[in-house]
Amino acid sequence: MQDIFDHTILCKKCGKPMGKAMVLRNGFNLRARICPLGHDKIIHPADEEEYKKFKELRQKEFKVKMRLVGNSYAVSIPKEIVSFMQDQEKIMNDMVRLCFEESGRLSLTFEELIDKNLNKSADKENID
């Protein structure tokens, strides 16, 4: 099946062909078409839908258990989050980065996902 974004799209205001670009929102790279005169910007519908799912998931608060496993503690990540991340990138069994940001706050970073996003955004134009 062909993607409509692979074809020429004309700006509805000026009639000029819209250029391909990447829009970075909250660490998400969204494919876009942008008018060269700045009249209009179109985000790819599939990317927009994934971004909406991300925003809904981000607004949820999960209560998870912390368990003692050997000499370490383990925290379970809800299946809903892991399923979303598997849709984005195949990152299961990969190493993650855990940082103690401040008292009472930890961050978990999936480095492969960040590295891929940085490489993609370096290759294409970023527009906020």
Higher-pLDDT residue of 119 and 76 is 76
The stretch 48-56 carries a mean pLDDT of 90
Return d(Cα 77, Cα 60) in angstroms, integer: 13
Return d(Cα 106, Cα 40) in angstroms, integer: 40
Would the pTM count as exceeding 0.75? no
Decide if pLDDT at 52 tops 60.
yes
Decide if pLDDT at 58 tops 70.
yes
pLDDT band at 79 (very low <50, low <70, confident <90, very high): confident
Q: Which residues, at least 6 apart from 67, have a Cβ–Cβ distance to it below 8 Å?
A: 73, 74, 75, 76
**Would you list the domain boundaries of the chain?**
4-127
Pair 109, 97: CB distance under 8 Å: yes
Decide if pLDDT at 37 tops 90.
yes
User: Position of tokens 């978990």?
Assistant: 108
The 3-class SS string of 30-93 reads EEEEECCCCCCEEECHHHHHHHHHHHHHHHCCCCCCEEEECCEEEECCCHHHHHHHHHHCCCCC
**Residues of the chain with pLDDT > 70: what percent?**
78
